[in-house]
A and B are shown apart, each in its own frame.
Chain A
Amino acid sequence: MAGIFVSLRLLQKLTGYNLHNEKATLLRIGQGDKQAFDELFKRYYASLVLYGEKCHLGREDAEDAAMDVLAKLWKGREKLPAVNYLPAYLYKAMKNACVDHLKKRNRSELTEKTYHQQGDPEDDAFALREAIRAEVLQRINEDIQALPDKYRTVFELTYHEGLNTAEIAARLGISVTNVTSRRNRALQMLKKELIKKDLLFIYFLLSQIR
């Protein structure tokens, strides 16, 4: 019975309150609940693709590999309720899928060089690092996604498209003051939400930008 020592607090930290749902979701999927599976798909698809890209698959191959992993998961859904820690389970499956994909290619000199410089996908330490990366990023992204639409749009235009206040006002057809107030409101909400979730990080990120 190795590897069963799991900290609830750590699990919560890592995946927030969604993890409470995760076990329930697995049970539902195990019973063939497709909606529950969709939830899981949305939670993990992007981070699995990101992981695949880090394994030197192109975006397209990475998407294929992620699809394969999730399709297998759905086919073997009967076994899901016994899965203890889903993220680790999924990244391990993704690791194997990536290695398979890479084996189909001929390992040219180029890939040898890439492996040497950027890490070998078959290496466990490499796999762990990339799983950590994907999880941390996914977790941060979820908090941004949780903002109400009208605030999130302003937030995204500001921080992801790099637009200034006037440009955003023009794009959304609202006043400059309105943009500023929405942005401040978004910051406040994030702070509150994040304090609630024990995740002040986004606020930290935002307060530096401000």
Chain B
Amino acid sequence: MDQELIQISSLILRHLEGRLSAYDAQQLESWKRADPLNARLFEELTDRAALEHQLNRLRAIDVHAALERFKHANNTDERSTPVQRPRVLVLRRKYWLGAAVMLMAAVSLFLLVNTRRVKNGKEQAHVLPILPRDSGAILTLSDGSQVLLDTIRDGIVALHAHDSARIVNGSLVYGAGMDRVAYNSMSTRTGTQYHLTLSDGTGVWLNSLSSIRYPTAFKGAERLVEISGEAYFEVARNKKLPFRVKIDEQSSVTVLGTSFNINSYRDERSVNTTLLEGLVRVNSGRDSISLSPGEQTQLRPSGGIIRTVALQDVSTVVAWKNGLFSFNNAGIEEMTRELKRWYGIDTRFEGPVPDKIFKGELDRGVKLEAVLNWFTALGIKNRLEGNTLIISNQP
């Protein structure tokens, strides 16, 4: 029940807020389709009259009277001071020892709340609050001039001649009907990500430390863009004009109309293209392969396909665009690579790399300090020297 209860309730709430993504909507739709009773529940929770009726029933329950009765029956009337026990030890015993895999979210929640109570000693004494920036990017226009899009939520960016692009809700949008074709590029720094809509309507989410180069209007036989780092695409359908993403001289991905993610960070072992919907063709060196939804192909940085795998859960791959770190049986090295890119820190290991595996999600809005406190609670010794995170595993 756990996971579905969380997922579906949140989807319904998000639906009511009017902030479902296309992917969310699909999930909700398939849940509704799975059982007519699900669809009915959905109706009952989204119809105003039905909702008010149910809220009134809920509010008619006298919780305070019930609590008094409960206290009387269970003898929990007098107030008592809780016995102080070492919390971190409790955590270790309950959550960590003997388990290779760990519930990340719950513990980090605990730690976020309890950071002040966790005794870290000197190790944590000089940790500065390193905060991720939120969304933001640098736009480079065809004449080389740059625009910082950090704080602008709504506005207009003059491009060249009479053309301009709009910023709507912190996202850059190119309209159709540009006067002439010019190349712009967008890049993000550490701790920032950005969304833009190209002139054909294609949506691009750019992760931190990534860039994309694209024309302000698509003319010619294909829609060609170039990326580095990580980007997620929702390509507007146009069979006559294939969309191609160039990763480097050796590799590119050709699509017709689809959603996919490309991770081409140089510090990762491979360049990974993951398909969520539709059909893409990945070309690299002499190799070429068509992907089906749910598949990921891994390329050598020097070109050529290493392998193609079917993923059990593609949502992990694109969690970043929803503001989450997501780890699925990730080692600590993989995790620190993410932290590095997001918080703009360097990392170094002292002694052997701790043998821990992580699974779960974490909001990218948390302070680095909270993540480090969490490490400490898991028995991963760490300290921050200037801008370098040192993970120490010396006996």
Contact = CB atoms under 8 A, between A and B. Distances in A.
A70 B7 contact: no
Contacts of B45: 133, 136-137
A50 B61 contact: yes
Contact of B10 (A3, A10, A47): A10
A10 B6 CA distance: 6
A204 B16 contact: yes
Contact of B1 (A38, A92, A137, A159): A92
Contacts of B63: 41-42, 45-46
Nearest to B101: A1
Contacts of A81: 90, 94
A136 B13 contact: yes
Interface in B45-98: 45, 48, 51-52, 54-59, 61, 63-64, 66-67, 69-70, 73-74, 76, 78-85, 87, 90, 94-95
Given A47-B58, A84-B103, A7 B324 contact: yes
Given A4-B103, A11-B109, A20-B112, A63 B4 contact: no
A140 interface: yes
Contacts of B110: 23-24, 27
Given A5-B3, A8-B324, A128-B1, A141 B359 contact: no
B254 interface: no
Interface residues of B, number: 77
B38 interface: yes
A46 to B, nearest CB: 4
B12 A3 contact: no
B38 A129 contact: yes
Contact of B2 (A22, A42, A85): A85
A95 B69 CA distance: 22
B35 A125 contact: yes
B17 A201 contact: yes
Most buried by A among B6, B44, B83: B6
Contacts of B17: 198-201, 204
B339 interface: no
Contacts of B324: 7-9
Interface stretch (B183-191, B290-298, B360-368): B360-368
A113 B51 CA distance: 26
B303 to A, nearest CB: 34
A24 to B, nearest CB: 5
Interface stretch (A28-36, A102-110, A168-176, A180-188): A28-36
A46 B58 contact: yes
Contacts of B362: 8
B70 A67 contact: yes
30 contacts: A3-B2, A4-B360, A5-B359, A6-B6, A7-B324, A8-B108, A8-B324, A9-B323, A10-B7, A41-B63, A50-B54, A50-B57, A63-B66, A70-B70, A71-B73, A74-B74, A74-B76, A81-B94, A88-B1, A119-B37, A125-B37, A128-B1, A128-B8, A129-B38, A132-B5, A132-B41, A133-B54, A136-B13, A201-B16, A205-B51
Interface of A: 1, 3-14, 19-24, 27-28, 30-38, 41-42, 45-47, 49-50, 53, 63, 66-67, 70-71, 74, 81-82, 84-85, 87-88, 91-92, 119, 124-129, 131-133, 135-141, 159-160, 198-201, 204-205, 208-209
Given A10-B10, A124-B1, A132-B8, 11 more contacts: A3-B2, A4-B103, A4-B360, A6-B105, A6-B106, A9-B324, A13-B13, A49-B61, A67-B73, A137-B55, A159-B52
